[in-house]
Amino acid sequence: MRRLVIERIDPVLGRCRYVADVDDRRVAQPTLVARRGERFDGVIENALPQPTTVHFHGLTLAESQDGAGFDPIAPGGRRRVRFEVRNRSGLYWFHPHPHGLTGEQVYAGLAGLLVLVDEDDATLDAALALAPRNRLALALADVRVAQGLLRPYAPRPAECVHGWLGNRAMANGALDPLYRVAPGWVRLQLLNACNARGLLLAFREGDTQVPFHLVGTDGGLLGAPRELERVFLHPAERVDVVINASGRARLDAVSLEFDPRQRAGTAVPQPSHHARKRYAPLANEAVCEGPEARQADVVPPDGAELPLFSLQVEERRSAKAGGLPQRLSVLADAGEWSGQPVRRMRLDFSEQQGFLIDHTPYRADEIAFSVARDAREVWEIKNSPISTAHPMHLHGFGFRVLRRQGTFGPARALATESAGRLATDLGVKDTVTLWPNETVWLGVDFAMPEDPAFRGRQRYMFHCHNLEHEDGMMMRNFAVL
């Protein structure tokens, strides 16, 4: 059994971390590695002064294992969580999901990576002749640094509506991350762990942009690699990319400048921190209530260029670079979904309440809709023209992106085919980003494992993974019956 402790380090800054006992070693900010078919067996201890949960993002889990916030762990409490790892190899992650407190806790450092491996994963590494240190799994997050110090989470009202942004990037909790790699292929499994910032990932050698290959998305490897120059990565999305470092001295990963399509103007609805009001010790802490001009921080807006991390290529005489296979997994195209029932949802903006799904603020005790066990559904999700980019996350089930319509120019330019899909839409996804005025069609298979934990009604969530939108009620519960 593993022990996963959620700690708060500094009472002023509130920097949090996961501490795991892995093979009798205490590891801070752990990256857990699991093989498909293995069982996870852990005790989660909450050493925070707030309620929390641990959501295993992207995994096929029953309600009791998903950590979605229906049943938080109280301060000082503990919970045993056991499940079988059923998903394909890829980068998954775990983070808190207590309703109303998620943004604060994730920003405080609570994001752990879960790398799943299987035969396809090992075959790819072998073909690339990957040096062990040339494989990195990184949680990329923007943090607010002023006078050399990390600033605590203190969003102003406008930031509670539009998102809390940082001015510097961290990878796995470290500022100015630089990794030494050997010549040859480098494989990077990258998570956008930012609260709200979208990234347009690219690699540079000096001033020259260096192409890379997309080999996987949220839910594992693509069928075949795609060569790209840049790729959008919004909060909670993952990409698995390989880049050839042979003949290069240094590669810098950056988020390129882009138009973030903020179409909701500067409207500032009255934020209301429902979660804090439910917990007396937190009710008087000011969040979302400070004066607009309280902080003098200069934070680059969403879409501004931001350096992410660097790869220093160490010189070696004989670098044996393998070849990139043209077949990565048996993943086929999304398949035939015509004739399946269509469920329609709309992402809205309300001048009073901020961003919502179907004009309805989240209610913990509400079930917005029910889905039949083992059903296959098409979800048609439309984002309002008065909106912003929303990375929408579905708990419990991976899905396929079938089609996009109304995508704005610079994103549309990255489409790979007539259905408007982007390269990242070609894999299994659990989080999909919708630009303002865009409609996406998803194919969702609600097949449930034959496992006693999945018996009976299972509740899941569908929500925006801009964490301020999520905490601001842009979330719905649904049930699988």
Confirm or reject binding of residue 8 to Cu ion (CB under 5 A). Answer: no
CA distance 361 to 381: 17
Could you tell me the smallest distance in angstroms from the CB atom of residue 354 to Cu ion?
9
3-state DSSP call for residue 364?
coil
Could you tell me the smallest distance in angstroms from the CB atom of residue 188 to Cu ion?
26
95/390 with CB nearer Cu ion: 390
Q: Which one of 291-299, 314-322, 413-421, 456-464 is the stretch in contact with Cu ion (CB under 5 A)?
A: 456-464
Q: Residue 276: name the closest of 428, 457, 44, 105 by CA.
A: 105
Q: Do the beta carbons of residue 158 and residue 393 sit within 8 Å?
A: no
Could you tell me the smallest distance in angstroms from the CB atom of residue 383 to Cu ion?
9
Q: Which one of 2-10, 320-328, 393-401, 466-474 is the stretch in contact with Cu ion (CB under 5 A)?
A: 466-474
- Full DSSP string of 301-340: PTTS-EEEEEEEEPP-S--------S---S-------TTS
Could you tell me the smallest distance in angstroms from the CB atom of residue 347 to Cu ion?
7
Confirm or reject binding of residue 469 to Cu ion (CB under 5 A). Answer: yes
Q: Do the beta carbons of residue 149 and residue 66 sit within 8 Å?
A: no
Q: Which one of 131-139, 185-193, 226-234, 460-468 is the stretch in contact with Cu ion (CB under 5 A)?
A: 460-468
- At 396, list the tokens: 């419990």
Query: What is the dihedral sign for C-alpha 430, 189, 405, 227?
Result: negative
Could you tell me the smallest distance in angstroms from the CB atom of residue 387 to Cu ion?
8
State the amino acid at position 230 in one-letter form. R
- Residue 124 phi, psi dihedral angles, 5° rounding: -65, -45
Confirm or reject binding of residue 353 to Cu ion (CB under 5 A). Answer: no
Could you tell me the smallest distance in angstroms from the CB atom of residue 100 to Cu ion?
15
220/235 with CB nearer Cu ion: 235
CA distance 18 to 129: 32
Could you tell me the smallest distance in angstroms from the CB atom of residue 168 to Cu ion?
23
Neighbour order of strands in the sheet with 174-175: 174-175, 168-171, 135-143, 185-192, 238-244, 212-217, 220-228
Q: Which one of 195-203, 221-229, 233-241, 459-467 is the stretch in contact with Cu ion (CB under 5 A)?
A: 459-467
Confirm or reject binding of residue 464 to Cu ion (CB under 5 A). Answer: yes
- Taking CB under 5 A as the criterion, which residues in 375-414 touch Cu ion? 390
| Residue of 217, 383, 466, 477 that binds Cu ion (CB under 5 A) | 466
400/469 with CB nearer Cu ion: 469
The DSSP element (H or E) to which 106 belongs, if any, is helix 102-107
44/432 with CB nearer Cu ion: 432
Chain CA centroid to CA 177, Å: 20
The DSSP element (H or E) to which 128 belongs, if any, is helix 119-128
14/198 with CB nearer Cu ion: 198
CA distance 178 to 230: 20
Binding mask 249-278 for Cu ion (x = CB under 5 A): ------------------------------
Could you tell me the smallest distance in angstroms from the CB atom of residue 222 to Cu ion?
26
197/469 with CB nearer Cu ion: 469
Residues near Cu ion (CB under 5 A) are: 390, 464, 466, 469
